[in-house]
Structure 1
Amino acid sequence: MKFSFKPTPGFVRDMTDGHSVLGLAVSTLLYIVCISGTLAVFYNEFERWEQASELENLNVEASVYQTATENAIALATEEKEELKSISFTIPNQDMPRLVVEVGEMERYVSEDGSLLGKVEHEWTHFLAYLHFALNLPVSLGVVLVGLIGVVMSALIVSGLLAHPKIIKDAFSFRLSGSKRLQQVDLHNRLGVWASPFHLAIAITGAFIGLSQVAAFAIAGVFFEGDSEKVEHMLYRDHLVMEENAPEVAYPDYAAILATMDRIAPEEERTRIEVAFPGREGQVVEVWTRVPERLVWGERYHFNSDGSLIEKEGWSEGDTAKQVYLSTFRLHFGHFSGFPVKIAYFLLGVGMCLLVVSGINIWLVRKRQRGNPVVRLERVWTAQVWGIPFAIALSAVTYLLFKLNAAQVFWSVTLLLSVVAAFTGTVAKWSMYLRVATIVACVGAVAVHVAQFGEDSFVRASLVANSVWLVIAVGIAVSCFYSWVRQKSSEPVSLNTSPAGSN
């Protein structure tokens, strides 16, 4: 039996119309999620960039944890922090700094176990929360971003179905054609060639965002609404400590790490957490990253004398658990080293181009049909270039004045959108905001160099500053291309994207 599918003109038209309506409905939020996600690929590098001068050392003796525990508990008691747990970030390839955390207190730790300055990653946390929750309350924002992931998946599928000549036109790119043809070719080529990546990002984003909703649904159907039972399908039960439990010695970190050397020598350790430190019945968890596996890690539970209680089994669980625990690293590109991060960044830029060119096609089509939406064109242009400008400006103002990055970003984005609705032209908004974004990106690097000196040109800081400069160069190239087109007397009506051409 031979199966063939030849879309009718009516089917293609319906898919195209549905594709446009979906894209317009979520264009701005989708664009914000794409830009912030592209930058968040370098989340670890930006964290280290914010405090570039802190000590980095991958080799920490077990005795340091013992001394740091005593110092951190003493300081936390003085500051009246809750003492339910103490955790350490074990220096690793992503974060080669020893950090101790008790309650809300988070400090760097020196090589002798003494406590150093406070950990401050507020700008990077803003960027991460912008991506996965749009800076809304997490319970609402994560679900909203998950729904955007669903819509993005639908956009990708409907876009592919709306292109009946997908194979024939795979290499078509009409640089000398009209503005609309250039936008269509840009949109279609990016949409086709990068569709596996786009689908993977959209589906995993939707899965992560809506997993909490699914957990509540599963709890309601199978566990009489008890969501903790759903959580325990993935995680070991939380330790419950009796009040006024007798005091005991802190855990034997040397024995615990020696056991880890014996049972999992190939796994990179990333975190140690002690539940109810210094109390009878305390339990120690060691988190690791499993080589050549996508799951976010593995977790081991120990008694305080170093004897193993159990292995969580994240890297060896059933298929459903493996899939769930692999979505996070797959979504953010945190696997197989730095080259994958670069690939994710470039593909993320392509996704931004895809979103912007899709809306541009619709706007150009409206103009060509004699029904231009000039105000919407101005607002969209202000958002296309204003959003990356606002992100870069928030970095500058945070480094200089410790201003709240979320407030700076949303205030600037909203202000530009409102002003663009009433004044200016598309060409001026496009050019002025591109120049402003270049200045802000270069400004972020300049301010960082002024604050951290030679530490701005090594390790993670070199990567983060290079990202800002690459963005600035990409936008400068788009400005040059626009200038060339203007010199050739071809009117420029719309933008393409922060990393593309006009």
Structure 2
Amino acid sequence: MRFPTADLVRRALSGHAAIGLLAGGLLYLICLSGTIVVLREEIQRWEQPNVAETATISPAALQTAARDVLASEAGKKPTEHFYIRLPNGALPRAVVTTDNQAVYIDESGAVADKEAHGWTEFLINLHVYLHVPGTLGLTIVGALGVMMAALTLGGVLAHPRIFRDAFRLRARGQKQLALADWHNRLGVWTLPFGLALALTGAMIGLGGVGFYAMAAKWYGGDVEKAYAPIFGGEPAHAEGKASLARIDRAMANLTAAHPGIEPSYVILHEPGTRGQYLTILAKHPRRLIYGETYAFDAAGNPTHKVGLSDGPIGRQFAASTYDLHFGSFGGWPVRLAYVLLGAAVTVICGTGMSIWLVKRRQRGRASPRLEAMWAATVWGAPLLMLAALALRAVTGAEAPMVALFWSGLALLIGAGILLPRAEAWARGLRLALGAAMVAAGLGHLAIMTSGIGPLYLIDLALVAGGAGFLWPTVRQLRLTRPAELAPAE
């Protein structure tokens, strides 16, 4: 018996199209933002390019930072969790975050600047939550991850020759064939990557729903207790003031006991109380886990570790999904590969809907309004991301970027319904996007006072990418102008 059968192929293709129509636009936004978010540390540096940087910071400086930052919050709501993000290769800046503020600190532990990377957070929240708050946003994105996995597998079943034709590309032929070839070839080349992204994204998004369900069933609604068997719990709160916990001793004890690991976060729980304690998250080399959690008492003495690095296999697996999804392992080669593969998956999402629309037109059932709406989404979304960046540059990190993005996208889609000319919309928005990218790159270069190499690369990529979008139109104008100026015979 032949596999897949003709009936299975037909049903798979129908299901593939149905899921794509249902989720195509949102999946495009998630893939587009996710591709950018792979470089979130570099983008955070790029957004605030002139902040002082340091490759390392001493335990004594961390203690100084904790003392001074907490002292500056006298009279405010007491901080329950005090975080220090330690500098690393991707983001060589130390960041202190409390319940009231977030600041950069220099190598001595003194406050250097306010952390104000609102645009970076805007992009991250678009990818992780679609800007829908809390568990609901995670659930929606997780469900879209399931749909993406179904699209990936369904696409393979719907095209029996997809592997045989992996290197056959008719990029200059009929529009439908060209789009289909790009869609299918990129789908084959990115198949393991796309499936891994979809499954890990679904796990991260829907995992929260599972923990809430377990909390309701077995833990009296206490979500923290549901998370504790995997990620560790917190001891009972103890009232009363106490001297600040010894971060410096905890760091010294950790590095002495485990010299090969890389501490990434210091978390002081209930600072300045009798129940305070410390946890330090540390990366383990050549491991996919996001880190191991080491706990210390207020005096800086080690008490236990959670076991993300050597505990039950399920716990290690859960701790590995994050870095696998975001490409936070293996250094620059892996991050660059994730950007390229993520861009390819974004193109797959964009061309999928376009193929369906072209097929409808060829069958005499053209949908000009849907075509214009899709053009507005594909080219309008990245343009509005840059519009949000411009708003942030003018009004500050607290600018209403989310409102601008979604209202702008709604207006563009609405305009596409009123003026259903997809080609004109695509051309105009593509030109605007190219101009905005060039302006963003050149504008950022103008305000840079630091000599941070990766930031110049981002500027160069913006200018080059923008020029790439502008060039076809410029070339067409150059070709048509001589013909218009030629004398009539």
- TM-score, normalization by structure 1: 0.90
RMSD of aligned alpha carbons: 2.3
Aligned to 2:203: 207
Instruction: Tell me how far 1:70 sits from its aligned partner.
Output: 2.1
Aligned to 2:444: 448
Aligned to 2:286: 292
Aligned to 1:490: none
Change (3 A) 1:446 1:143: same
Aligned to 1:9: 6
1:315 to 304, 309, 315: 309
Aligned to 1:88: 84
User: Does the alignment pair 1:358 with 2:349?
Assistant: no
Aligned to 1:268: 262
Aligned to 2:138: 142
Q: Which moved more, 1:44-53 or 1:457-466?
A: 457-466
Report the Cα distance in structure 1 between the residues aligned to 2:222 and 2:72, rounded to whole angstroms: 37
What is the DSSP-based 3-state SS (H/G/I as helix, E as strand, rest coil) of the residue aligned with 1:400? helix
Q: Which moved more, 1:107-116 or 1:155-164?
A: 107-116
2:176 to 164, 180, 194: 180
What is the DSSP-based 3-state SS (H/G/I as helix, E as strand, rest coil) of the residue aligned with 2:357? helix
Q: Is the 8 A contact 1:81 1:105 kept in 2?
A: no
Q: Is the 8 A contact 2:238 2:275 kept in 1?
A: no
Change (3 A) 1:165 1:421: same
Instruction: Tell me how far 1:86 sits from its aligned partner.
Output: 2.5
Q: Is the 8 A contact 2:50 2:449 kept in 1?
A: no
Q: Is the 8 A contact 1:92 1:269 kept in 2?
A: no
Q: Which runs of 4+ in 1 moved over 6 A?
A: 480-487
Change (3 A) 1:274 1:311: same
Q: How does 1:43-442 map to 2 (within 5 A)?
A: 43-78=40-75, 80-220=76-216, 223=219, 226-243=222-239, 245-248=240-243, 250-402=244-396, 403-423=399-419, 425-442=421-438
Change (3 A) 1:485 1:419: farther
Q: Aligned letter for 1:31?
A: Y
Instruction: Tell me how far 1:67 sits from its aligned partner.
Output: 2.1
Q: Is the 8 A contact 1:267 1:290 kept in 2?
A: yes
User: Does the alignment pair 1:39 with 2:30?
Assistant: no
Change (3 A) 1:14 1:486: farther
Report the Cα distance in structure 1 between the residues aligned to 2:479 and 2:182, rounded to whole angstroms: 17
Instruction: Tell me how far 1:486 sits from its aligned partner.
Output: 10
Q: Aligned letter for 2:272?
A: G
Report the Cα distance in structure 2 between the residues aligned to 1:63 and 1:280, rounded to whole angstroms: 22
Report the Cα distance in structure 2 between the residues aligned to 1:372 and 1:228, rounded to whole angstroms: 52
Change (3 A) 1:62 1:351: same
Q: How does 1:482-493 map to 2 (within 5 A)?
A: none
Instruction: Work out the number of aligned pairs and report it.
Output: 479
Q: Is the 8 A contact 1:388 1:437 kept in 2?
A: yes
Q: Is the 8 A contact 2:368 2:420 kept in 1?
A: no
Change (3 A) 1:72 1:91: same
Report the Cα distance in structure 1 between the residues aligned to 2:478 and 2:166, rounded to whole angstroms: 27
What is the DSSP-based 3-state SS (H/G/I as helix, E as strand, rest coil) of the residue aligned with 2:57? coil
Q: Which segments of 5 or more consecutive residues in structure 1 lack a partner in the other structure? A: 488-502
Instruction: Tell me how far 1:134 sits from its aligned partner.
Output: 0.7
Q: Aligned letter for 1:175?
A: A
Per-residue deviation, residues 330-362 of structure 1 (Å, max 9, x unmatched): 111111001111111111111111111111111
Change (3 A) 1:173 1:227: same
Change (3 A) 1:328 1:341: same
Q: Which moved more, 1:45-54 or 1:438-447?
A: 438-447
Q: Aligned letter for 1:109?
A: I
Q: Aligned letter for 2:193?
A: F
Q: Which segments of 5 or more consecutive residues in structure 2 lack a partner in the other structure? A: 482-489
Q: Is the 8 A contact 1:45 1:463 kept in 2?
A: no
Q: Aligned letter for 2:374?
A: W
Report the Cα distance in structure 1 between the residues aligned to 2:412 and 2:182, rounded to whole angstroms: 27
Q: Which moved more, 1:143-152 or 1:458-467?
A: 458-467
Per-residue deviation, residues 254-311 of structure 1 (Å, max 9, x unmatched): 3222211221111111111222323334211111111111111111111233321111
Report the Cα distance in structure 2 between the residues aligned to 1:421 and 1:359, rounded to whole angstroms: 17
Report the Cα distance in structure 2 between the residues aligned to 1:7 and 1:62, rounded to whole angstroms: 61
Instruction: Tell me how far 1:9 sits from its aligned partner.
Output: 2.7
Instruction: Tell me how far 1:49 sits from its aligned partner.
Output: 1.3
Fraction of identical pairs, as percent: 34
